Structure 1
């Protein structure tokens, strides 16, 4: 039978519940258990897909096309499992589903209430994840902070799950901040005590408390928390700040967190977690011998979380190549033909990640042009591939007013057009895993070492096949297309050391102990560029 772990947060939001939950998942997976993870967000938006990156960071896409919270990226990177739509649920989606059911008469005219209808919908998502994944453990993170009015239905729903399951099959982990009072320079446990009581008032008793604190907790503080919160002292776990977030599972293992969880689950007969490979990966990250400077050109650079998976994927490639990534965040609105030479004078590679909308688009095109003309390693993702195609059409093929219909509906040379089958480009998207057929002998096929790959997508525009022959004649290679040949997935320039654009989002499939082939190729080329420049 599936066992359940629910992770809640107290005192303040943004204390790293997602990383904590993912670290628990990694430890349990290395104990030989299968793990599935999910995130419940209390906001009323249906999903993050239409939320500003400034509000919510990046949108992470699952293999079956769900637009989700960025925490799912942490989950996948830590537990190395491709998650599904059952891994994400917002309050907006919950209410939308319940209202649709009511309109269809599924409740037979009953009065719709938070209990049982809203809480049942939340519980159904928990049980659906367990049934679909057939996982031994389902870990569910409840977004927000205990005491928030919007979180109440979610806390009530997981309380009901506890009541419906055997007592030893459900564990609650509560994460809290231990703040320091500036005047006395003392850490205070009182907020944790109040947060625990708030959770208790909602019918949920935490089995484990994970504390966020800059410094180690003193023993008397642990004893105080254990006494006032009626939690075993062994179940008071520290989650201190770490330079490398992948260290956290090892810190939890040292404190016996996985042992305590499995003892509560009556699974303590399982062997210890073998973290040998994980430790080897961390050793590599702590002993990097090279360094490259990469310019990320985007329009949401003020909030680095808007490109979180892209940044992580570059780090992963750096781990494999013993290379530190020095990332320079460049606002694409600031890039022009006149200043590109100055902006990119000391970088070893340029990456243009995905995005939507016209703002900053010309700066991205200039970045593509500068990289192409100077044989500077270039990697364009989704919109980044599209701007590379526009640059090539304008500046190599002589189609001076070439553009995307998204940016200029009246362009005489629509290099980028709405994706086939998407009737409303303002609303629909091509999402999730789709196959890509690789052309043999190209850089893409050499990096992947496969003929067909499946990658995650999130776009509503694509390359216009009417221009394929024109660009191909001038040297642009279409090295990856859908098996039916209709959608261009990868472009590259054979004459450049690394000039690659892809319509999909490879960053979503990168792992800290297994970097993505395209990111590996990009960072490797950037390292070679750096070494050539030094010589």
Structure 2
């Protein structure tokens, strides 16, 4: 029998429901169970693809081309299971499907309503294709009390009565703030949050309480009493130094034991957490450290680069070093010399992005790395800017640019209007919709034998996730290679450049795809492991 765990949040947003869900999934896996994680997002966007990173953080892309919530990245990193488009749904997608059915006449003239039509669609999504899993963990986005979340809370309430008795569980993540002037941890916000949840028919079974210090026994008893849960079901979720400490911390507080006990599984094998302990040890006691400059345009909001940050951490784990990140807003190079900011760093990374703002600063960063022999990693937009920099300053094409920024006589980077996906030809129009119209998901690439990147992968055929509209123009590849920039990988049909590298450089690689999306703490992506290794070598020269 598949068991369902619903994770809700209260008091404030950004408490870490995604991490809590991922950590619980990792703990259940460590006990030998099969786990699937799903995310219900109440916002009206069909997906987060058109939302600014300042609004929503990064957009996570799955192998099958879904633009999804960043929490799916946590799910993949903690469980190792690749997510797909059926693991994340939004209000927008649900309404889009329901309205399409209504227009076709599928409802036979009936009135279409939130209950039962919207809630039935949510329930159908939650229950679909779960036969192979022991546990399905379902995270509900937002905070209890949000008006847009009400259909989702109603749907999971209905499921708790429709599914077999003992097959559902509710975990409520809340905040227990410390009031410095009173010298107390306060239980009232959690009490009010649970009251709100109970008013819509959901009684939490477990409280996962975020706080910055241990919860005294008296407050724990008070929460249990006023929220109608067992005292053992009040689980402190204390702050930890790294997110990879969360599974062990939650196990020590008894979260997985309490979940299994609630499902009537008291004799489950203990979790195998040796691997997590080793990850924690490497992060706490590294043998060295390196500094990586990230030159981007959303550096004020670190969630915009969540998978990137974690992939760099994984690269550090692979080399047993601490990776210190120096965040640099690329626009600063519009008025300041790059040397003042990049001198002394051990590696430079220019991540993906969209639009002209900050592009000249990214070009300047690539140029600094090329001239000063500093390891450089250009991802998606970062690869394109490195190509433009080389064409401008090595090949003498001062007008080299991207059509993303407007008309240009030297379109080194241009809009991708058609490409092969499997055996099908995908087409896009320049003036078409923005949502879901990029080259999305996993695509194969062929690497040239003997190149640095082929040696890093240990293979000449790779498969990586993409998210972009613009591509390097193959017509400029001869000029690039004449000036030392090798097009080391292309699409299988040879039409689209996928990777570039500088032959006469310690480590200078650009990729059109997003390798950070496939990196895991137990399986660091080879490009990030190699990049950090090169940064370690650079640290010995500085």
Q: TM-score of the superposition, structure 1-length normalised?
A: 0.96
1:384-403 alignment, distance < 5 Å:
384-403=382-401
1:269-312 deviation line (CA, Å, top 9, x unaligned): 43211011111111111111211111111111111111111111
Using the TM superposition, give the Cα deviation of residue 329 of structure 1 relative to its aligned residue in structure 2, in angstroms: 0.9
Superposed CA offset, 1:351-398 (max 9, x none): 000000011111111111111111111000000011111111111111
Query: Counterpart in 2 of 1:27?
Result: 27
State the SS of the aligned residue for 1:343: helix
Partner of 1:54: 54
Q: 2:215 aligns with which of 196, 217, 224?
A: 217
Deviates more, 1:230-239 or 1:421-430: 421-430
Match of 1:242, SS? coil
- Alignment size in residue pairs: 530
Greater Cα offset, 345-354 or 461-470: 461-470
| Contact kept? 2:244, 2:279, Cα under 8 Å | no
Q: How does 1:127-142 map to 2 (within 5 A)?
A: 127-128=127-128, 130=130, 134-142=132-140
Aligned partner of 2:126 in structure 1 is 126
Does residue 1:522 correspond to 2:519, yes or no?
no
The separation in 2 between residues aligned to 1:233 and 1:280, in whole angstroms, is 32
Whole-Å Cα distance in 2 between the matches of residues 34 and 524 of structure 1?
A: 35
Cα displacement string for residues 213-233 of structure 1 (whole angstroms, at most 9, x for unaligned residues): 111111111111112222111
Match of 2:2 in 1: 2
Equivalent residue number for residue 203 of structure 1: 201
Q: In 1, are the aligned partners of 2:293 and 2:327 still within 8 Å (CA)? A: yes
Residue 325 (structure 2) aligned to one of 319, 324, 327: 327
Q: Which moved more, 1:329-338 or 1:31-40?
A: 329-338
Residue 417 of structure 1 is matched in structure 2 by: 414
Q: What whole-Å deviation, never above 9, does each CA across 1:218-269 have from its counterpart, x for those lacking one?
A: 1111111112222111111110011111111111111222122122223344
What root-mean-square deviation, in Å, do the aligned CA atoms of Structure 1 and Structure 2 show? 1.4
Matches within 5 A, 1:291-370: 291-336=289-334, 339-370=337-368
- Equivalent residue of 1:99, what SS? helix
Q: CA deviation at 1:420?
A: 4.0
Segments of structure 2 that go 5 or more residues without pairing to the other structure are 419-426
- Aligned pair partner of 2:249 in 246, 251, 260: 251
Cα distance in 2 between the residues matched to 1:267 and 1:81? 24
Whole-angstrom distance in 1 between the partners of 2:414 and 2:380: 13
**Secondary structure in 1 aligned to 2:268?**
coil
Please list the CA deviations of residues 449-469 of structure 1 after superposition, one character each: whole Å capped at 9, or x if unmatched: 122221111001111111122
Query: Please, which runs of 5 or more residues in structure 1 have no aligned partner?
Result: none
Pair 1:531-2:540 in alignment = yes
- The alignment partner of 1:454 has SS state of strand
Q: Structure 1 residues 267, 488: closer, same or farther in 2, change over 3 A?
A: farther
Counterpart CA distance in 2 for 1:268 and 1:477 is 59
Moved more, 411-420 or 79-88: 411-420
Are 1:70 and 2:75 counterparts? no
Q: Report the Cα offset of residue 104 of structure 1.
A: 1.6
SS of the aligned residue for 1:249 comes to helix
Pair 1:529–1:337, CA change in 2 (3 A):
farther
In the superposition, the TM-score normalised over structure 2's length comes to 0.95
Where does structure 1 differ by over 4 angstroms across 4 or more consecutive aligned residues?
none
**Match of residue 443 from structure 1:** 452
After TM superposition, give the deviation of residue 142 of structure 1 in Å.
0.6
Name the SS of the counterpart of 1:327 in structure 2. strand
